[in-house]
Chains A and B, each alone.
Chain A
Amino acid sequence: GAVVSQHPSRVICKSGTSVKIECRSLDFQATTMFWYRQFPKQSLMLMATSNEGSKATYEQGVEKDKFLINHASLTLSTLTVTSAHPEDSSFYICSAATSYEQYFGPGTRLTVT
């Protein structure tokens, strides 16, 4: 149990375009989902906390208008990187939380050319 999926696993896009990443909890309902970003040889950095049916809470330094988060149901959260730039190239990882645990998705490798 406690499986989290992400789609796509890998995406390459051109600078200026938008990319949507989906995060799904497959066998449990998650009231809270988190989005993390990891640059090469760096640790995971929390970007935002997403609660079902409400606006996401963004960490300091993360632009909410650039990284749009929608948490439409208890099993799905989406992250849209708008007007992507090469510096947005990173590994984006979501996690879905129950009362006590966080379960990580397999990650999405975004490359912006």
Chain B
Amino acid sequence: GQNIDQPTEMTATEGAIVQINCTYQTSGFNGLFWYQQHAGEAPTFLSYNVLDGLEEKGRFSSFLSRSKGYSYLLLKELQMKDSASYLCAVRPSGGGADGLTFGKGTHLIIQP
């Protein structure tokens, strides 16, 4: 079966740092994605990890540990516009030919 867990909601302060965790148990693994989704809009791609370690991309970083079935998304220098849902998704196998399995998303609230 497929199971992806992430916190339902988090609150952070503008200018601070927040870490959103994701754990997964899936039948097969070929990459983990993080997406940002604003209410009523489609997800936008943030990051992709397939090997263990940290991927940094501006204010956003993503980490993966395949042995632990664990990833996190780190957001630095938080801005009000970062208030959104953040979705963790796993590609079970293959390349682009497999649909993604999504977690329920973490609703991030940024306070002034």
Q: Which of B12-20, B51-59, B69-77, B96-104 contacts A (4 or more CB under 8 A)?
A: B96-104
B102 cross-chain contacts in A, Cβ below 8 A: 36, 43-45
Residues B95 and A99 in contact, CB atoms below 8 Å apart = yes
A101 cross-chain contacts in B, Cβ below 8 A: 45, 48, 96
B44 cross-chain contacts in A, Cβ below 8 A: 104
> Which of these, A36, A104, A109, contacts B40 with CB under 8 Å?
A109
Ranked 6 nearest A-B pairs via Cβ:
A97-B96, A46-B99, A43-B102, A107-B42, A43-B104, A44-B102
Query: B30: nearest residue on chain A (CB-CB)?
Result: A100
A54 located at the interface, meaning its Cβ lies under 8 Å from any Cβ of chain B in the complex: no
Residues A44 and B43 in contact, CB atoms below 8 Å apart = yes
B87 located at the interface, meaning its Cβ lies under 8 Å from any Cβ of chain A in the complex: yes
CB-contacts of B51-91 with A (<8 A) = 87, 89
> Beyond A34-B99, A43-B104, is A93–B87 a contact (Cβ under 8 Å)?
no
> Which of these, A42, A97, A104, contacts B43 with CB under 8 Å?
A104
Chain B binding surface SS class: loop
For the A-B complex, the count of residue pairs with Cβ-Cβ distances under 8 Å equals 54
Contacts A104-B44, A107-B41 supplied; 7 other A-B pairs, CB < 8 Å: A31-B97, A36-B99, A44-B89, A44-B100, A93-B43, A97-B96, A107-B40
A102 located at the interface, meaning its Cβ lies under 8 Å from any Cβ of chain B in the complex: yes
Complex Cα gap A97–B102 (Å): 16
Complex Cα gap A97–B30 (Å): 15
Residues A93 and B42 in contact, CB atoms below 8 Å apart = yes
> Which of these, B48, B89, B96, B101, contacts A32 with CB under 8 Å?
B96
A98 located at the interface, meaning its Cβ lies under 8 Å from any Cβ of chain B in the complex: yes
CB of B28, distance to nearest CB on chain A (Å):
14
Complex Cα gap A91–B43 (Å): 12
Complex Cα gap A105–B44 (Å): 9
> Beyond A93-B42, A106-B42, is A44–B96 a contact (Cβ under 8 Å)?
no
Interface string of A87-113 (1 = CB under 8 A from B): 000010100011111111111010000
Complex Cα gap A31–B94 (Å): 14
